[in-house]
Amino acid sequence: MMIKTSCGDIEAYITKDGSTIRELMHPQVHGNSAQSIAEATVPAGASTLLHRHDITEEIYHILSGSGLLTLDDEYIEVKEGDSICIHPGMSHNIRNTGTEELRILCCCSPAYSHDDTEILE
């Protein structure tokens, strides 16, 4: 079981919602059991697709940049240092409203899965 990872050593990939992520710790790769943590990036002016997860709860922590988070029918401005809880079943996406890359730490429990991601647009 791998107990330490380094972000720079992890290859990024595009998720179902269109964000680019690096899985910093995920059960399918690292052997942990109940959660995942990833760094997501959204380029300036870009947005993820509106989606939801049936069973996964997510916490977003904004590492840098700013954006507008859609959470069901609510719009929430977010910036560096903000944390947001996204409960299972809530529709959400995030748009980068700034001029720099939006970097988000995404914590998922249970771990992120493409199979638990339903695109809504």
CB atoms within 10 A of CB 51: 18
Q: Model's pTM, two decimal places?
A: 0.89
pLDDT 10s digits, 54-95: 999 999 999 999 999 999 999 999 999 999 999 999 999 999
Which is higher by pLDDT, 11 or 71?
A: 71
Structure tokens at 99: 């001029």
Structure tokens at 116: 């638990």
CB atoms within 10 A of CB 100: 11
Q: Does 52 reside within a domain?
A: yes
Report how far residue 59's alpha carbon sits from residue 36's, in angstroms, rounded to the nearest whole number.
11
Please tell me the total count of domains within the chain.
1
Q: Does 65 reside within a domain?
A: yes
Binning pLDDT at 50, 70 and 90, where does residue 1 land?
A: low
Q: Does 114 reside within a domain?
A: no
CA-CA distances (angstroms) from residue 50 to 3, 29, 74, 94, 97? 33, 27, 13, 8, 16
CATH code of the domain containing 103: 2.60.120.10
Which structural domain range is residue 43 located in?
A: 11-109
**Quick one: which of 58, 31, 77 has its CA closest to 116?**
58
